[in-house]
């Protein structure tokens, strides 16, 4: 799993740009954080993190949860569909993003994702991601 931490945290420029950091990973579960910074604000009147940042983080964390179930370095995972429900604005707070696999089939992996405000652990957004897994065929 250490390899995935390095890829997620160091080798994906977008993750670094928004400050998305993977902090926990086990088979079927991932947890990441984003530290609040002014460049992520979508509504300056209330200093709320932009919804696009939140949904992109959910997709990335859902994807790495899915990747945790792959068995070969040749396996690949791509997003097929994602739904996000924004519950409340994330005002001037760090974020905690969690993803859990609800089903991992031969080709389709489905995850539930939740985003919490780190300051009070109140739910900010929740959603579901659907990913297509291309698994290496056994010899």
Q: Report the distance separating Cα 114 and Cα 126, nearest Å.
A: 4
Residue 139 lies in a domain: no
Residue 69 lies in a domain: yes
Q: Report the distance separating Cα 8 and Cα 18, nearest Å.
A: 12
Per-residue pLDDT of the chain (139 residues), as tens digits, is: 789 999 999 999 999 999 999 999 999 999 999 999 999 999 999 999 999 999 999 999 999 999 999 988 899 999 999 999 999 999 999 999 999 999 999 999 999 999 999 999 999 999 999 999 998 876 5
Per DSSP, helices labelled H in 27-67 are: 51-67
Residue 44 lies in a domain: yes
Instruction: Give the count of alpha carbons within 13 A of 120, CB side only.
Output: 8
Number of domains making up the chain: 1
- The model carries a pTM of 0.94
Query: The CATH number of the domain where 16 resides is what?
Result: 3.10.129.10
CA angle 14/80/33 to nearest 5° reads 35
Whole domain around residue 32: which residue ranges?
2-134
């Amino acid at each position: 799993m250490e390899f995935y931490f390095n890829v997620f945290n160091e080798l994906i420029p977008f993750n670094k740009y928004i400050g998305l950091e993977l902090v926990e990973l086990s088979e079927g579960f991932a947890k990441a954080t984003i530290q609040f910074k002014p460049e992520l604000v979508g509504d300056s009147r209330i200093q709320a993190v932009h919804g696009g940042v939140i949904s992109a983080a959910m997709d990335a964390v859902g994807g790495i949860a899915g990747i945790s179930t792959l068995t070969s370095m040749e396996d690949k995972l791509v997003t097929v569909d994602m739904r996000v429900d924004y519950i409340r604005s994330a005002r001037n707070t760090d974020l905690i993003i969690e993803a859990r696999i609800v089903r991992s089939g031969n080709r389709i992996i489905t995850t539930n994702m939740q985003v919490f405000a780190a300051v009070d652990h109140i739910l900010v957004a929740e959603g579901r991601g659907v990913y297509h897994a291309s698994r290496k065929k056994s010899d």
